Structure 1
Amino acid sequence: MKASLYLVLAALFWSGNFVVGQAAVASMTPLDLTFWRWALAAVPLLLLAHFIEKPDWRAVLRRWPVLLLLSALGMSGYTLLLYGALGFTSAVNASLITAANPALIVVMAVVLLGERTTRLGWLGICLGLLGVLIVLTRGELARVFSLSINTGELLMIGAIVVWGFYTIIARRLDVPAIAATAVQVVIATVTLAPFAFAMNVRFPDTAAEGWSLAYIAIFPSLGSYLFWNLALKTTPPGTAGNYLNLMVVFTAIITVLLGTPLTLVQVIGGLLVIAGVLLTGIKGQAKLKVA
């Protein structure tokens, strides 16, 4: 029950990140947002880990190779791709593409972990893919063959592939969840710092930018990653990925409340993605292969 709540909250906070991030990239670069996001979240996460989990930090740091890889994937790679994408596509489209991640994670679990899924699971994967293609091509599927797809949407495809690898690897990490998240954030801050300062990283200088960064640093950075990693301790990757489907719903609700209407293509694509995820996660749940 706790894991389900954690995954719902993670999806909600990440949904807000799409909307807030899209507004923020109008005046801040993806590198600005990514660097300050993790720089501001690093110390609070370390303190939370130290006082709540009381981990053996030496044992945690002995896992530095996999923590470095996870940081490069989930903290730096995914975030840079996401904010880069939001400069070219809408928050709703970005969330719709992200909603295909559960099916992608199932496929990756089959290929990389030896899991297997049912026929309904594969049908769900195909439906989800069709929904994403409808969104990417604005309902004109023939555009797939001309590669006439928005740059932002291509970046989002790259982002969900990176997140799929992050989820698969993080599931097998035997490090306390908060400590693992904190160390990954610190690594991201340190490794991004040379690039950030070489590119003259800019701190927010308006109230709107400040509030945007505050939301991003607190909710999707501290909250979502913390809840996601806590849930992965007891939840299989395919099941956890299924909750990312909620991001479509949450993002659509936030977007409509802010006055931006949804298009028919987005609604149709979203419904197909949701149907695909439900088939993949509920009826076609991947099972571990028995050796």
Structure 2
Amino acid sequence: MQTQRLSPSTVFLLTVPPLLWAGNAVVGRLVRDLVSPLTLNFVRWVIAFALLLPLAWPILRRGSALWPHWRRYAVLGLLGIGCYNAFQYLALQTSTPINVTLVGSSLPLWMLATGTLFFGARVSGREVGGALLSMLGVLLVLSRGEWQQLLALRLVPGDLYMIAGTISWAFYSWFLVRTHQPAGIRQDWAAFLMAQLVFGLGWSGALAAGEWAVAAAHVDVGWPLAAAMLFIGVGPAVVAYRCWGTGVQRAGPQAASIFMNLTPLFAAVLSAAFLREPPHWYHGVAFLLIVGGIVVSSRR
């Protein structure tokens, strides 16, 4: 997979998803008392499926290019639609959008690790140094500015859920560019997303069913929840995934992961505006460390 330089259109494509995903984190935090997290994830993708169906229904026909390659799209659906979003909504039950998105900014570290261990990617010493610098920023967030908390392992469950989700997203991004995509799917963004969504919907539905079977799941039906679900079903789901998939294919997963670090910045602004959760001093320092690590690792 050859990548190209970051053109203005590619920069735009990779900037839109962090903004929408920051909004997704804020909305997920707002409705955490109205709907169970795994149910929220499932309903989100039901809405996205309904929106994409008029555009991509031919991909579901028996003779389409999807079915000979169904295994790879089942994996993409599990990692990018089932696992990542489920972990994020679980994280937002006990952690703030700023914390969740900052922990998610450890993506370049996991991208380097998964690329080296599982996809044969070469990693330079500069990239390792930059990833470690970024990881210091993540550790600062996990410790809430008190390093001794790391020694005591006093992490909220949301932090651990988000780490698991970020690892899942790293695998998803590598699979995007290291697995063969049939031309009929690769060249049509709606078909490309639907190919993942048809399996991701099954994964997220199974997780939601498990939530109702073993936990105190709930849905408080009303206009606030309906509006929230409509937003996350259109923006962070369809629009953001469309932009991210195209941007990753153009720039490559390592370069694209840089733009994920815009998410905490957008989340801080939106949290202050809608949740009255202003950032703390360690959020700012952590953001500088994370971005500094990215600058170090990406310099030539």
Asked if 2 retains the 8 angstrom alpha-carbon contact of 1:95 and 1:251, the reply is: yes
Q: Which residue of 1 aligns with 2:117?
A: 111
RMSD across aligned C-alpha pairs, in angstroms? 2.3
Q: Which residue of 2 aligns with 1:185?
A: 197
Are residues 1:3 and 2:3 paired?
no
Q: Which residue of 1 aligns with 2:278?
A: 261
**Which residues of structure 1 form unaligned runs of 5+?**
285-291
Are residues 1:100 and 2:106 paired?
yes
In structure 2, relative to structure 1, the CA distance for the partners of 1:95 and 1:196 (3 Å cut) is: closer
Which residue identity is paired with 1:45? L
Helix, strand or coil for the counterpart of 2:22?
A: helix
**Cα deviation 1:255-289 (Å, max 9, x = unaligned):** 22333221111111121111112222x316xxxxx
Are residues 1:139 and 2:145 paired?
yes
Which 4+ stretches in 1 moved above 6 angstroms? Answer: none
Identity of aligned residues (%): 25
Q: CA deviation at 1:71?
A: 0.8
Asked if 2 retains the 8 angstrom alpha-carbon contact of 1:103 and 1:277, the reply is: no
Which of 260, 269, 276 is the matching residue for 1:244?
Answer: 260
In structure 2, relative to structure 1, the CA distance for the partners of 1:131 and 1:194 (3 Å cut) is: closer
Q: CA deviation at 1:202?
A: 5.7
Asked if 1 retains the 8 angstrom alpha-carbon contact of 2:18 and 2:259, the reply is: yes
Helix, strand or coil for the counterpart of 1:6?
A: helix
Q: Distance in 2 between matches of 1:220 and 1:192?
A: 16
Q: CA deviation at 1:15?
A: 0.9
Asked if 2 retains the 8 angstrom alpha-carbon contact of 1:39 and 1:186, the reply is: no
How many pairs does the alignment contain? 282
Q: Distance in 1 between matches of 2:80 and 2:202?
A: 15
Which residue identity is paired with 1:151? P
Which of 22, 25, 32 is the matching residue for 2:29?
Answer: 22
Asked if 2 retains the 8 angstrom alpha-carbon contact of 1:178 and 1:229, the reply is: no
**Which residues of structure 2 form unaligned runs of 5+?**
1-6
Q: CA deviation at 1:56?
A: 10
Q: CA deviation at 1:12?
A: 1.0
Instruction: Provide the TM-score with structure 2 as the length reference.
Output: 0.86
Q: Which residue of 1 aligns with 2:175?
A: 169
Which residue identity is paired with 1:227? C
Helix, strand or coil for the counterpart of 2:75?
A: helix
Instruction: Provide the TM-score with structure 1 as the length reference.
Output: 0.89
Asked if 1 retains the 8 angstrom alpha-carbon contact of 2:174 and 2:253, the reply is: yes
Q: Distance in 2 between matches of 1:166 and 1:224?
A: 15
Q: Distance in 2 between matches of 1:89 and 1:191?
A: 24
Q: Distance in 2 between matches of 1:124 and 1:118?
A: 10
Alignment of 1:25-104 (within 5 A): 25-49=32-56, 58-104=64-110
Which residue identity is paired with 2:277? T
Asked if 1 retains the 8 angstrom alpha-carbon contact of 2:81 and 2:201, the reply is: no
Helix, strand or coil for the counterpart of 1:63?
A: helix
Which residue identity is paired with 1:143? Q
